[in-house]
Amino acid sequence: MSTDTDTSIAVNPLAGALRPALRPARTVVRWGVRHGLPAVLLDRGARGGDPVGRLLRNPAVRDDPHPLYEELRARGSLSPSSIGLVTASHAVASEILRSDRFGVGWDRSQAPRLIRWALRFGDELDATGVAEPPSMLVVDPPDHTRFRRLVGRAFTPRATAAFEPVVQRTADTLLDALERDPGTRSGEIDLIDAYAAQLPVLVIADLLGVPTERRADFLRWGAAAAATLDPGLPFRRYVAAERALRAMHAFLREHFARLRRDPGDDLVSRLVGLPDDEALTERELHATVMLLLGAGFETTMNLLGNGVALLDAHREQWEALRVAPTGWDGAVEEILRFDSPVQLTGRTVKDGGTLAGRPVRAGTRVTVLLGAANRDPEVFREPGRFDVGRANARDHLAFSAGIHYCVGAGLARLEGVVGLRTLSERFPHLRVTGRPVRRDLRTLRGFEHLPVTLR
């Protein structure tokens, strides 16, 4: 089956001198096919009551998607939507994510001619986002298996455990600085800016061997990359995101050249130095490292921010964890379940058949609501209750399942436990004192600002 990973897209007839001159036109076409057209469809769907349209477009649903999830659950385990099917069921989501009847690629040869042309015309390595092929997130085997094997070596349980001192040291250094900062003695600080974003970006920079001094750039680029995960971005926001993606690709190109000359003991040095029979193409290398860098902090900062907000709202559980810190492992699972940093993903039916007792045709898109599956009462008793002692919290799908199960799940858990436990030990009286502001994102869920006082 031809998928979105087709190498034919790289063979653009408009090569050479024409390319720079056509850049603005290509940006418009790229936006049109990836965001403009979906926005029209989703808005029309939202006006007609379509759940996915409302989820992705309605501002009130962004702040609290759970009433919509419950409405969907009441309709059954699989519902139609304007872009295929949608599920809020844990059982159906697990089946889809684990089954090889579903893939992440899609058969672009079935798309209308104009769309095929637009995808080809708009294709450009330097404008490619984290969820565009050949990012492993959106390619099927055998390419997916190849990327996953190369990257997975750096994320084995043993490799992750060896990272604990780095995570602890990073958390301590950040909190030492806050402790010394006279501004934090009486005043309010933004915990996202000062800690929740910094810890994961410093840890992933260490793992990938990228210079930590560039962390402000990574955070800016990561935010732009995260925005492109939501279909339907307005043009101006897309242009800003594309500018950030270009800067990120340019940085990566220089970084790869540096590591080829002077390799270190890090994952990216290993990836650029692979023997010929395993070597990644330039495009694959960009896609893989960009995904690791972005996924490595964009999600984990949400875990930390969501966790602090939840534990502030359930103060007795924060106090209980201070007395019995072994409970942090379970607490992190419950935070991931209750307020999942990644709310949704999607799959395409590869082989037609039935799903949840309903016939499904090859090519149908299914939106899998991870955040809703994690509140499924068939699996979690009183799912709307936040309880760090919940025995089966770990059954959540916050890291997905099947072959795309989050490669960094172990590292994210480690950062969650060390990051939150250390914060609670150093600043036990921390309180959320200002109005938290959610990020303007749908696929990812977290806070843009979380104003706290530390003492």
Neighbours of 433 (CB within 10 A): 13
Q: Which two tokens stand for residue 368?
A: 């899998």
Name the segment binding ligand HEM (CB under 6 A); options: 176-184, 188-196, 240-248, 394-402. Answer: 394-402
* Nearest of 340, 317, 319, 315 to residue 416 by alpha carbon: 340
**Least distance (Å) from ligand HEM to the CB of residue 440?**
19
Name the segment binding ligand HEM (CB under 6 A); options: 9-17, 107-115, 339-347, 423-431. Answer: 339-347
Q: Is 292 in the site for ligand HEM (CB under 6 A)?
A: yes
The interface mask with ligand HEM, positions 138-177, x = CB under 6 A, is ----------x-----------------------------
Q: Which two tokens stand for residue 246?
A: 């270009």
**Least distance (Å) from ligand HEM to the CB of residue 86?**
15
Q: Is 137 in the site for ligand HEM (CB under 6 A)?
A: yes
C-beta of 26 vs 375, nearer to ligand HEM: 375
C-beta of 29 vs 407, nearer to ligand HEM: 407
Name the segment binding ligand HEM (CB under 6 A); options: 322-330, 358-366, 382-390, 407-415. Answer: 407-415
Name the segment binding ligand HEM (CB under 6 A); options: 243-251, 287-295, 377-385, 417-425. Answer: 287-295
Q: Is 90 in the site for ligand HEM (CB under 6 A)?
A: no
Q: Is 375 in the site for ligand HEM (CB under 6 A)?
A: no
Q: Which residue has the tokens 């339907």?
A: 232
Kindly determine how many residues on this chain lie close enough to bind ligand HEM according to the rule CB under 6 A: 23
Instruction: Give the separation between CA 441 and CA 2, rounded to whole angstroms.
Output: 31
Instruction: Give the separation between CA 416 and CA 430, rounded to whole angstroms.
Output: 17
Cβ neighbours for 12, distance < 8 A, ≥ 6 positions apart:
120, 121, 123
Instruction: Give the separation between CA 294 and CA 298, rounded to whole angstroms.
Output: 6
Instruction: Give the separation between CA 97 and CA 370, rounded to whole angstroms.
Output: 10
Q: Is 84 in the site for ligand HEM (CB under 6 A)?
A: no
From candidates 251, 399, 427, 447, binder to ligand HEM by CB under 6 A: 399
Name the segment binding ligand HEM (CB under 6 A); options: 182-190, 269-277, 319-327, 397-405. Answer: 397-405
Q: Is 299 in the site for ligand HEM (CB under 6 A)?
A: yes
Cβ neighbours for 207, distance < 8 A, ≥ 6 positions apart:
154, 163, 266, 267, 296, 411
The interface mask with ligand HEM, positions 243-282, x = CB under 6 A, is ----------------------------------------
From candidates 77, 81, 87, 345, binder to ligand HEM by CB under 6 A: 345
* Nearest of 22, 45, 201, 195 to residue 124 by alpha carbon: 22
β-bridge mates for residue 366, sequence order: 85, 347
Strands 79-81 and 102-103: unpaired
Name the segment binding ligand HEM (CB under 6 A); options: 13-21, 24-32, 76-84, 340-348. Answer: 340-348
From candidates 231, 296, 419, 446, binder to ligand HEM by CB under 6 A: 296
Instruction: Give the separation between CA 313 and CA 298, rounded to whole angstroms.
Output: 23
| Buried residues in 59-69 as b, exposed as e (16+ CB within 10 A) | eebbeebeebb
Q: What sign does the dihedral 4-6-10-14 (CA atoms) show?
A: negative
C-beta of 411 vs 441, nearer to ligand HEM: 411
Where do contacts with ligand HEM occur on this chain (CB under 6 A)?
A: 136-137, 148, 204, 291-292, 295-296, 299-300, 303, 341-342, 345, 398-400, 404, 406-408, 411-412
